[in-house]
Amino acid sequence: MVDESTATLSNVAAEPGASKPDPILAADGVRRSFGGLNAVDVDHLELQRGAITALIGPNGAGKTTLFNVLTGFDRPSAGNWSFAGTELRGMAAHRVARLGMVRTFQLTKALARLTVLENLQLAATNQRGEGMFASLVRPLWRGQENRYRELADELLARFRLDHLREAHAGTLSGGQRKLLELARALMTRPRMLMLDEPMAGVNPALAQSLLEHITSLRDEGMTVCFVEHDMDMVMTTSDWVVCLAEGSVIAEGPPRAIGANPAVIDAYLGKHHDEPSSPEQPS
């Protein structure tokens, strides 16, 4: 299903910094330097609300650094950006998450020792930053816990992880872990999901199901942005592709146009000049 917000992308110019009809995120002059290296140097970038945007680019292009800056996990050297009308510069990551821009995280060793259900419950309370105040208003807190429990049950059923609810997260397969990471992010009912390489380590059997989950979330109104090296996923799942190289946006457009864009091909071939590679098959 293509909803109205993604359909309107067909009228957007396929050029770096293109304006979108309904941007949920807009960034201006965002730079992040490490010593003399400009890891990110983005003049202007808008992400369309309700669409799936893929962030691609050769190794070291600055994708992860840009993700970290936008979500409050890293400080930029310069620049401003807003999410759903709120300026985010200087805002701590947990407050960015509370506004509705939530990123997925790989399971840490500590989380791997918790059960699947405990992971989900913890994700909800962590993101909300609940602490002493919540424990003082215990009856209210209990109501909250019940709601979390219901949402966790709903997500476990949705991702077909319900039979694993009491399993330790560390025992899950690579693909099941990715589903759990997605479910953890969804415990906060975000408006926008930021996924860093959602397909890494996922076997083909679960890959298809993961892609379907991501597109159905978009169809339900979620905005999604992902960093991904798997070009099959980029081509089949995204509504719009942004290509970074050496920190800057060098191309933007619908997936098909990006696959044939000379600047994108050059960026990949320049980095992999000894391989007969193309943006279709980056390493």
Q: Judged by CB, which is closer to ligand ATP: 68, or 223?
A: 68
Q: Judged by CB, which is closer to ligand ATP: 61, or 195?
A: 61
For residue 64, state whether it binds ligand ATP (rule: CB under 6 A): yes
For residue 79, state whether it binds ligand ATP (rule: CB under 6 A): no
For residue 277, state whether it binds ligand ATP (rule: CB under 6 A): no
Residue among 62, 72, 100, 253 that touches ligand ATP (CB under 6 A): 62
The DSSP result for 136-180, as a single string, is HSHHHHHHHHHHHHHHHHHHHHHTT-GGGTTSBGGGS-HHHHHHH
- Which residues, including other chains, have CB under 8 Å from residue 195's CB and lie 6 or more apart? 103, 104, 182, 214, 224, 225, 226, 227, 228
- As a whole number of angstroms, the distance between CA 282 and CA 95 comes to 35
Using the contact rule CB under 6 A, the part of the chain among 5-13, 63-71, 124-132, 166-174 near ligand ATP is 63-71
For residue 199, state whether it binds ligand ATP (rule: CB under 6 A): no
Q: Judged by CB, which is closer to ligand ATP: 100, or 230?
A: 230
- As a whole number of angstroms, the distance between CA 199 and CA 76 comes to 27
Q: Is the dihedral of CA 51, 11, 7, 213 positive or negative?
A: negative
Q: Where are the beta strands (DSSP E) in the chain?
A: 23-34, 37-48, 52-56, 78-83, 86-87, 101-103, 192-196, 223-227, 240-245, 248-253
Q: Pairing between strand 101-103 and 192-196?
A: parallel
For residue 72, state whether it binds ligand ATP (rule: CB under 6 A): no
For residue 218, state whether it binds ligand ATP (rule: CB under 6 A): no
Q: Judged by CB, which is closer to ligand ATP: 61, or 102?
A: 61
Three-class secondary structure of residue 203 per DSSP: coil
Residue among 20, 31, 49, 63 that touches ligand ATP (CB under 6 A): 63
Residue among 9, 51, 61, 111 that touches ligand ATP (CB under 6 A): 61
Number of residues this chain uses to bind ligand ATP (CB under 6 A): 11
For residue 17, state whether it binds ligand ATP (rule: CB under 6 A): no
For residue 201, state whether it binds ligand ATP (rule: CB under 6 A): no
- As a whole number of angstroms, the distance between CA 34 and CA 139 comes to 48
Interface mask (CB under 6 A) for ligand ATP, residues 18-57, using x and -? Answer: ----------------x--x-x-----------------x
For residue 76, state whether it binds ligand ATP (rule: CB under 6 A): no
Whole-Å CA distances, 67 to 2, 25, 243: 26, 12, 13
Residue among 19, 59, 106, 171 that touches ligand ATP (CB under 6 A): 59
Interface residues with ligand ATP (CB under 6 A) are 34, 37, 39, 57, 59-65
